[in-house]
């Protein structure tokens, strides 16, 4: 049997841990402030995971007013440069025929998305993923995306730490929302329900 002696935390490690905790608390406070509304909840469907080789396939967003009501919706399929991969069609239901029939160039779709979100804070589930693709779209089109962004995944982890997973489908069942389908607008509607439920839960816990 081998025993391992825990090394004492160094000053630098303790400082980094303290800074990380402070940043997380600040991010939570900022997100909860943004949830007072109005705010945007958005989602992207993409042709894969890499911004270097994959494209945005669909934009969707919902504007939520101060009272928590859904005011307006935006959704648009993008005419991608490359064919829609078959595994993406199986996952999302978005076919090449739909892209050919209803898709618009990414510059047009991105411009409409930016017009819709205005300067409001934008929530995504797993925001780092969507931010990377929006950043790539901004670089390619020359249209910056400068909105404050927040992550409902991080909110859910704070609201329901007891859950074994905070994937959107599990959260949907937990809060009684519609099940996500991997179509952007349907997933946005589910994310709105999760965000509002997390806000209410954190308010009860005295964190909102």
Domains of the chain: 30-205 (3.30.420.10)
Within 10 A of 179 (CB to CB), how many other CB atoms are there? 11
pLDDT tens digits, one per residue of 141-190: 999 999 999 999 999 999 999 999 999 999 999 999 999 999 999 999 99
Find tokens 């005011």 and name the residue.
71
In which order are the strands placed within the sheet that holds 149-151? Answer: 70-77, 56-64, 39-46, 122-124, 149-151
The answer to pTM > 0.85 is yes
Residue 17 predicted with pLDDT over 60: no
Residue 2 predicted with pLDDT over 50: no
Task: Just list the catalytic residues.
Answer: 182
What confidence score (pLDDT) does residue 1 get?
Answer: 41
Euclidean distance between CA atoms 52 and 179, whole angstroms? 30
Residue 5 predicted with pLDDT over 90: no
From residue 158, alpha-carbon distances to 29, 37, 39, 52, 132 in Å are 12, 20, 20, 32, 23
pLDDT tens digits, one per residue of 88-146: 999 999 999 999 999 999 999 999 999 999 999 999 999 999 999 999 999 999 999 99
The mean of the pLDDT values for the chain is: 92
What confidence score (pLDDT) does residue 186 get?
Answer: 97
């Amino acid at each position: 049997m081998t025993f391992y002696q825990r090394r004492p935390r160094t000053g630098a490690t303790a400082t980094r841990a303290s800074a990380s905790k402070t940043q997380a608390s600040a991010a939570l406070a900022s997100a909860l402030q943004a949830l007072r509304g109005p705010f945007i909840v958005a989602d992207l469907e993409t042709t894969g995971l890499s911004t270097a080789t994959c494209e945005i396939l669909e934009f969707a967003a919902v504007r939520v007013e101060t009272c928590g009501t859904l005011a307006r919706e935006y959704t648009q399929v993008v005419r991608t440069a490359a064919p829609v991969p078959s595994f993406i069609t199986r996952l999302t239901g978005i076919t090449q025929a739909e892209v050919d029939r209803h898709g618009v160039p990414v510059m047009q779709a991105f411009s409409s998305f930016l017009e819709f979100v205005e300067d409001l804070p934008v929530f995504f589930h797993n925001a780092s993923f969507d931010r990377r693709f929006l950043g790539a779209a901004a670089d390619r089109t020359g249209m910056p995306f400068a909105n404050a962004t927040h992550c409902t995944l991080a909110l859910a982890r704070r609201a329901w730490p007891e859950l074994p997973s905070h994937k959107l489908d599990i959260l949907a069942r937990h809060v009684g929302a519609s099940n996500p389908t991997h179509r952007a607008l349907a997933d946005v509607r589910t994310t709105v329900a999760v965000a509002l439920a997390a806000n209410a839960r954190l308010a009860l816990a005295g964190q909102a």
